[in-house]
Amino acid sequence: MDRGVSTIEARITDAAHGLRIDKALAEVVPDLSRERVKALMAAGHVAGPDGPVSDGKRKVAAGQQFVITLPAAVPLDTVAQDIPLVVAYEDDHLIVIDKPAGLVVHPAAGNLDGTLVNALLHHCAGNLSGIGGVARPGIVHRIDKDTSGLLVVAKNDVAHEGLARQFKDHSIDRRYLAIAAGRVLTSAGTVDAPLARSPNDRKKMAIVRSPLAKHAVTHWRKLRQLRDASLIECRLETGRTHQVRVHMASIGHPLLGDPVYAGRRPALRAELERLDFRRQALHAATLGFIHPVTSNALAFDSDVPADMQELLDHLHV
């Protein structure tokens, strides 16, 4: 696939016979995800034997032919900026960044520049995924501004689609180190609780029991007992917004320094202020996945950043 308009001719295989058209096309065109197919259909870019196709629920038959038009990417109105990056790995298809706390991933209101996207536009000199119809760096997943650690970015559409499928299938190995308030009495556990925007505060996420909530699962284990706190490893089965922060708070152990979910009387507040630790104590320490082009298994580890290490040393028992 190039950066201009291109077309894909897709023939429904025997294995895809009887499937919904969006699922069938995603099966026979591995470079496209089901969500991408839906978006292309909605935009009138998928044609079948009888003309344009807009109903993704329609069933297909083996042997049917479809033509998918991939429009040229719309330029992103974001400036490339020479912002230093810590690169854990890079090849022609993807790049793994070790993000410092304080760096926003994507431009948004209040953070229109100085973001990871601005840095990537400079570092990769335009060689970035245009998936989704917009010429933007291939941000497959994000971590919060004040969370540090590893994330992978796609450089081309094939890599983007392949990584997106792994995230959707929950096959990516993502492990976070968190310093949680209080003495965690059990050695390990799982929080299986759906997340959605809080009905009381739209800036927050919350455990919500409704059809609108998204399935969210965090597996955690205690690594070390600290003074009035615990070092926890959280393995994400899903990757929802603020997942670790909300799930740990839900079991009575919010993350130290969390400005949103730590409650009105956050634990060790005075000591955190003395150390000038002003973020949630959360670090994306491990990232593992199958390379979407070479099929090699890749795994990366990131050392605890200096501010979290200072906090760990201070709370050592």
Active site residues: 144
CA 42 to chain centre: 25
Whole-angstrom CA distances from 282 to 159, 206, 231, 298 are 27, 18, 10, 22
CA–CA dist 106, 112 (Å, integer): 8
- Cβ contact 203:224 at 8 Å: no
- Cβ contact 138:151 at 8 Å: no
CA–CA dist 100, 307 (Å, integer): 11
CA–CA dist 182, 250 (Å, integer): 13
Q: Give 6's contacts (C-beta < 8 A, 6+ positions apart).
A: 69, 70
- Cβ contact 287:96 at 8 Å: yes
Residues in the chain: 317
Q: Containing H/E element for 314?
A: helix 306-315
In the chain, beta strands by DSSP E:
6-11, 46-48, 51-52, 65-70, 74-75, 87-90, 94-99, 134-135, 138-139, 148-154, 173-181, 188-192, 195-197, 205-207, 217-226, 229-236, 282-290, 297-301
Q: Give 252's contacts (C-beta < 8 A, 6+ positions apart).
A: 182
CA–CA dist 282, 266 (Å, integer): 16
